[in-house]
Amino acid sequence: MKNRRYIVVDLETTGNQATKADKIIQFSACIVEDGKIVDQFSTFLNPEKRIPPFIKELTGIVDKDVKDAPLFEDVSSIIHSLIDGGIFVAHNVSFDWTFLQKEMREAGEAPLKMKLLDTVELARIMYPTVDSFKLQDLADEFGLGHDAPHRADSDARVTAELLLLFLEKLESLPLATIRKLTTLAQHLTGFLAELLFDIEMRKEREMERLDPQWLEYRGIVIRQKDVKVAQYSRADNLTYPSSDDDKIALFQTADVTLVPRVGQFLMMDTVMDSWKAETDTLIEAGTGIGKTLGYFLPAIYFAKERQIPIVISTYTNLLQSQIFHKDIPLLATLTGFDIQAVVLKGRDHYINLFKFEQLLTEVDKTYDVVLTKMQLLVWLTETTTGDIDEVNLSGGGQLFWNRMKHTGWFLSPTKDPWLAYDFYLFNQKQAKAADLIIVNHALLLQDHYGKGQWLPDYEYAVIDEAHHFTDAARAQKSFVFSYRRMKFFMNRLGTLGKEAILKRLEWMFPEQHQLFDVEIAVVKLEEALDDLFRLLAQKLLKSHKNTTELILVENVIDEKLDAALFFAGEKALLLMREVSVALDLILTEGKQKAEVFDEKESAFLEEVYSFVIDWKKAENQLATMLYEKEEAMMLYIESDRHKSLGSMRLRADIIQVNHTLQKDFFDTKKAVVLTSATLTVNDSFAYIQAELGLDADIITRQIKSPFHYDENARILIPSDMLPVKGTSLDDYTSRLASYLSAIAKETSGRMLVLFTANDMLQKTYRKMNQDASIAEYRILAQGVSSGSPARLTKQFLALDKAILLGTMTFWEGVDIPGDDLSCLVIVRLPFAPLEDPYTKAQITLRKKMGQNAFQTYSLPEAVLRFKQGFGRLIRREADRGIVFVFDNRVDTTNFGKAFLHSIPEVPIVKGREQELLEEVKKFFE
């Protein structure tokens, strides 16, 4: 290992295509030997052509930088002698290697003799849980200085530092894991297989002993884990601190800095009173209250005192993780209790180790499959949960996951040699011994609709981010029947002549004639599905609209699918049922013969059982679409903009869930506390109560934010902005872009602009980007700039002068505290677009119920979203900032007042552009 010479290379080029006329404009190579960077060579190169604008923007390299630089052929021999014979390393190695080979050929140099190593591939394998494998993101993740991203010298240095990290991690892995990685790496190109083999041989020679943190079983290494049961001590004071003085005293005894807040104390008491009185409660906790601790403190006292579990439900997996890793330790420090908490997910989030072990023995050279197996081997040395959400899988890896996800046991669990180490059972045991069970809304509702299959018995719960609870309930009962998913199922089934499920079943059940019936049904089903989805595509094309969505049935209670679609769907459904009936018969025979099957065959039967569960779910969904007449449900077509057959999706959305939530969920619990920063409209809980189906006599508490909005914020409403109605999109976005540029100059950027429509965002972005007066500002735009919302937010925080344009994702959940965000712009009041199928169905349903759809649905939904958007500005007590609302309906209409009455009291200033810019200047002075 130490004698190896790694040449870590990065190139900047005039474009992405080595096969065309693109050229290298900067070359850098770091030499890594003996576990350290020993040298670096960098040079600009003259491409003898102009550098394209997008490359200038990306790299910061301009024409004058390369004007007097050498041509590649002038330094080709130096580069050749420097790197030849070493191991060529790069981040996405094929790009740099292809470009360098091409330039070397053109310079007349001899072919390079090098083995290749890709740090993207190494990162995916060594650190499978990292959110992003981009170079900048990895540098951030590991705290590596990366002063000039997209400059070859800086990129090469960071890549070399990452290489050293990855090599160190490789060396630390246990021998059994390295053995399996070495076997799998034979199917990859490049140097990795040789590197792994050398490490394996050295570890064999040294007879390395397994670290106690690990356990090796059947050749796979997993992390040791034990079910932790809460310990109760006589010294534990389990009496809830009921007075404010008691709470202050508790805060002072803990070794943490906590500021006593009246609103937070009120929330704690309201939660405790709710559970004691066994009454459901709605609490709107304004920003800065300390909502999480506001329910966590009474929850742990109540759980300890009664020795029962309390369920805490959040909206997303990310929030679950934050609560577990940040808030539970704080709660333990504060109370001094031994707190047992567990994050629980649905069963198919956990890996089935028996299936995984058998899949490791299958020779599948598909890149994504090999990579995923290697990722999971490393991950198993680290995880104590077995939750696949921890792993950053590729698209192909996510499909492969379907073959090893947990779906319970078809054969007796005793046939599973991994039963003692099963992650799903471990998490279930942990949940039964826990004080606090942290779930997301999806699992809570899945458990509710599945009659308690996943969670231990519980009677008290907290639902955080409660404004999303009805959305989550609808999502649980809504579904998509797609062409792509059905094709995936058909490929997994295969035929008797193709290496897939049916072929393998034929080997196991040679006398089973049902398999021929299945094959005939599959062939017919392929044709029936093509007919069904072609019919959907034709309907979408005939709608004569530039749309990718088309409502088929607005409410199945009153309408049904047209005859042609109904019969096409029914034909496909009958064939799906033929397949599932035949597979059930084969599985039944498999269960009867279970004793004759070896482990590989048993694991395969479990995989078939899992497949049949998914198949029947799709079958039941299609049946629901065709025959459902009880629930308020809409059906519509979705596709991509090309309306291609492969993109066709038949979607069913439940429109109302309030009655089932009340009867089947809230009425079955003793007390549920629902909380969020946005629950009221015009200081009333009426809308959210109706949506959730909660009784009128529940406890409601509105706790205002403690922040001084009157001093620290302003709302500015332009009186000279063009009206949206009657103004072309081009004219409107030109004026908007000009206005935003003027504001940016006064606020030094630090501006988040919230849109409700992608086309308006994109046009505004393009016009701002062409404005020379703000050339020094970096403009980031959702859907235009590369990266997820989280990545764009991270970039925004890292830049001194930046403007961030976002759509609906950015209206909530984005946390940009302090001086990083000084100006929030709301372009339009966030009403859902009327052409949105779901919105249309809601409006139609409410009209049929004799309600005013605008007052009972459109307005309250928009107000709650507006409150979420407004909440992005002031996140901490010392934050200051301004909010521009460009939609003057907030001031000129009666309904507009509902928006302003629903947020904290903030001084409002109306005026023309120059007057408002003066106000901005004065505010920040």
Cβ-Cβ contacts under 8 Å for 442 (sequence gap 6 or more): 346, 472, 475, 476
Please give the structure tokens belonging to residue 15.
């474009």
Pair type for strands 823-826 and 881-885: parallel
How far apart, in whole angstroms, are the C-alpha atoms of residue 604 and residue 355?
Answer: 7
How far apart, in whole angstroms, are the C-alpha atoms of residue 239 and residue 117?
Answer: 60
Please give the structure tokens belonging to residue 852.
């005013």
How far apart, in whole angstroms, are the C-alpha atoms of residue 770 and residue 767?
Answer: 5
693 marked among binding-site residues:
no
600 marked among binding-site residues:
no
Please give the structure tokens belonging to residue 658.
């309030």
How far apart, in whole angstroms, are the C-alpha atoms of residue 476 and residue 444?
Answer: 10
Pair type for strands 549-553 and 633-638: antiparallel
Which 3-state string (H, E, C) describes 295-360?
A: HHHHHHHHHHHHCCCEEEEECCHHHHHHHHHHHHHHHHHHHCCCCCEEECCCHHHEECHHHHHHHH
Work out the number of other CB atoms within 10 angstroms of the CB of residue 300: 23
Ramachandran bin of 451, using left for φ above 0, alpha for ψ from -120 to 50, beta for the remaining angles:
left
87 marked among binding-site residues:
no
Cβ-Cβ contacts under 8 Å for 460 (sequence gap 6 or more): 275, 302, 308, 310, 311, 669, 670, 671, 672
Give the closest residue to 51 by CA, choosing from 30, 40, 66. Answer: 66
Please give the structure tokens belonging to residue 682.
């015009």
Specify burial of residue 224 (Cβ count, 10 A radius: 0-12, 13-18, 19+).
exposed
3-state secondary structure of 457: coil
286 marked among binding-site residues:
yes
3-state secondary structure of 512: coil
291 marked among binding-site residues:
yes
Specify burial of residue 725 (Cβ count, 10 A radius: 0-12, 13-18, 19+).
exposed
287 marked among binding-site residues:
yes
Please give the structure tokens belonging to residue 549.
């969505």
Cβ-contact 59, 12 below 8 angstroms: yes
Using only the alpha carbons of the chain, give its radius of gyration.
30
Cβ-contact 284, 701 below 8 angstroms: yes
Give the closest residue to 359 by CA, choosing from 159, 627, 180. Answer: 180
Give the closest residue to 42 by CA, choosing from 127, 125, 155. Answer: 155
How far apart, in whole angstroms, are the C-alpha atoms of residue 688 and residue 844?
Answer: 20
Ramachandran bin of 850, using left for φ above 0, alpha for ψ from -120 to 50, beta for the remaining angles:
left
Q: Which residues line the annotated binding site? A: 285-292
Q: Which residues line the annotated binding site for ATP? A: 285-292
